[in-house]
Amino acid sequence: MAQDCAAVLQPLTRHINTRDLLLLSRGFSETYRDLAQQSNQHFLATPVTALPTGRETGTFLAIDVGGTNLRVGFVKLLGEAGEQNGDSNSTSRHHVPDRPSKIHRFHERAWPIEEHLKMDQADDLFTWIGDCIAAVVRDALDDASLHIEHLDDIPMGITFSFPMKQNAISQATLMPMGKGFGITSDLDLGKMLLAGYARHCAKAPTSNGHISPQKATLLSLPKLRIAAITNDTVATYASLAYSIKVSSNSRVVMGLVVGTGTNATVPMTVDSLGSFKTHFLDLPAGTSPQNAKVVVNTEWSVCGTERPLKKLQVPTIWDAELDRACDAPGFQPVEYMTAGRYLGELVRLVLVQLIPEHCGGTKEDLPPAMLQRNSLSTKFLATVVALADDNELSRSLQELYPMRSAGFAWTRERMALLRAVAAAVQVRSAALVAAMIVGLLARAGEVHLDDSETDANTTAASQTSTEAEQLLVVAHTGGVILQYPGYLEECEKWIDTLLSAGSRKNASKKVVLGEAKDGGVIGAAVLAGMFAETK
């Protein structure tokens, strides 16, 4: 069965080798160069031109609007005071230390974003978000340690995990969203969020004895003041940069999210971006665009970035089928091949074809639920298919996909095919993300990719042996890369392989995937702290 699986899954796995992935990395790097100069949908300059110092302090309300969940809470930044009892700053291959003593989190709550809120009524979504924020603020009013009860307004950082354009850190305009959201673009995010919360700031009536002054005060919540709006990758990048110290041979170079969707952020020189993207930047006097850097939101999954994949014919018939059935066909082709919202559906599409072809029966014999779009989740793949024994997997599949008739059963052969398909889709996703990481770091000038295999083999060894090792940290978060068994290790393996194969100049460089768990919440507060200090 193993040999049969390998053969039938070749369309998914045939490019998972050093040669093809290196071609993809080079292709991605070239594509990113062109998009940075020309595209108004990719490589968007943000107002962030510096890393946090680690000395930022203050208490901030943090909101993280993701593709699946909303999280709201208070974050207290302790700055250097929190380092006195902090962990050591050692960094290993698999772990970049978090310093919880630098950050205290209070009254944090999370809510799933229901499907009906993702549709085209923006007012409904932001009113619901405002209600959730109000619930957290109301809980926090009794917490004397936060000192918010006498504030005229509460400083707030917002992470929004969707494409946006910004000319100022406290303002953002929504672009087409993806991730199953159908809300129209060109919305002023800050204005919409404040409007959704505003009704909780109104004074309750006190005339005619209807309500006590004490109760009126309780119902009238403090106003909010937006200190920073950012996207999830920039927040992830900032959160880890705040928590670890920069040294001469170790620094955070990139923010990465692989969860419901995927995206990345990286600092780039201003002159590498089209001038129409950077006109709002206020560079320090005497700083040239060749030397000044700005944090860039790549939107690396939006249409246009898939050019190297198409050139190498990586997309399969199943990818094409998934794309056609999406809410926005062709909008995020790279995301459809790599992100958590889609991996489960891709596995389902493969199984619907391959089970009848290779395990007997017909498509009509399959459980009816198995023919329903999005009936197989990536979470099920990660928590059940990847971990359960055959008996447990069989029981779970029977619950997920009740039988149409006695003619179908989850035999060991069919479960083996399911595991093989899930593994192939997972490995391909991790390998493609690794190729994208290396391509992006090369475009940012952090690593090298020689123009060809010949160049890589003939680069003088003397160029690689004299430099001290540089540790380049990629701050990462997201359910897929954090929770899917084996995903992180697969991605790290291919990053190492591609760096080594890409150029001998990379011999002194080590790319580390550093966990920035809850980076959306923490990063929102860190950026609020950075920009609150500049006002």
- Radius of gyration for the chain, computed over Cα atoms and rounded to the nearest angstrom: 25
Contact assessment for residue 60 and residue 80, using Cβ atoms and an 8 Å cutoff: no
DSSP assignment, residue 100? G
Contact assessment for residue 255 and residue 296, using Cβ atoms and an 8 Å cutoff: no
User: Tokens in use for 150?
Assistant: 């006498």
Buried b or exposed e, range 74-100, using 16+ CB within 10 angstroms: bbbbbbeebbeebeeeebeeeebbbbe
The confidence score (pLDDT) of residue 405 equals: 67
CA-wise closest residue to 43 among 444, 515, 445, 531: 444
Q: CA-to-CA distance for 490 and 385, rounded, in angstroms?
A: 17
Q: Domain locations in the chain?
A: 2-34+257-264+300-467+482-503, 57-244+518-532
Strand order in the sheet with 262-269: 44-45, 293-297, 262-269, 250-258, 470-477, 509-515
Find all residues with CB under 8 Å of 535, minimum gap 6, and list them: 227
Per-block average pLDDT, block size 10, for the chain (535 residues)?
A: 76 98 98 97 94 92 92 93 50 48 90 83 89 94 77 91 88 74 76 92 60 53 94 95 83 95 96 94 81 94 96 98 92 96 98 92 90 97 97 96 81 95 98 99 97 60 63 96 97 98 96 93 96 68
Give the 3-state secondary structure of residue 98. coil
Contact assessment for residue 153 and residue 142, using Cβ atoms and an 8 Å cutoff: no
Find all residues with CB under 8 Å of 42, minimum gap 6, and list them: 32, 35, 36, 298, 299, 300, 302, 304, 305
CATH placement of domain 57-244+518-532: 3.30.420.40
Q: pTM of this prediction? A: 0.89
Amino acid in position 78? L
Tell me the β-bridge partners of 63: 72, 158
Q: Hey, which bits of 163-212 come out as E strands?
A: 164-165, 173-174
Find all residues with CB under 8 Å of 485, minimum gap 6, and list them: 382, 386, 387
CATH class of 2-34+257-264+300-467+482-503: alpha beta
Contact assessment for residue 190 and residue 158, using Cβ atoms and an 8 Å cutoff: yes
Give the 3-state secondary structure of residue 213. helix
Contact assessment for residue 505 and residue 448, using Cβ atoms and an 8 Å cutoff: yes
The confidence score (pLDDT) of residue 162 equals: 82
**96-150 pLDDT, tens digit each:** 544 446 899 999 999 999 888 877 678 888 999 999 999 999 999 888 777 777 7
User: Tokens in use for 333?
Assistant: 């082709």
- CA torsion, ordered 395, 400, 403, 404, to nearest 10 deg: 180
* H-state helical runs in 150-263: 189-198, 213-219, 232-243
Contact assessment for residue 275 and residue 36, using Cβ atoms and an 8 Å cutoff: no
The confidence score (pLDDT) of residue 244 equals: 85
Find all residues with CB under 8 Å of 358, minimum gap 6, and list them: 4, 8, 417
The DSSP element (H or E) to which 132 belongs, if any, is: helix 122-140
**58-79 pLDDT, tens digit each:** 999 999 998 889 999 999 999 8
The DSSP element (H or E) to which 497 belongs, if any, is: helix 487-502
User: Tokens in use for 113?
Assistant: 């974003």
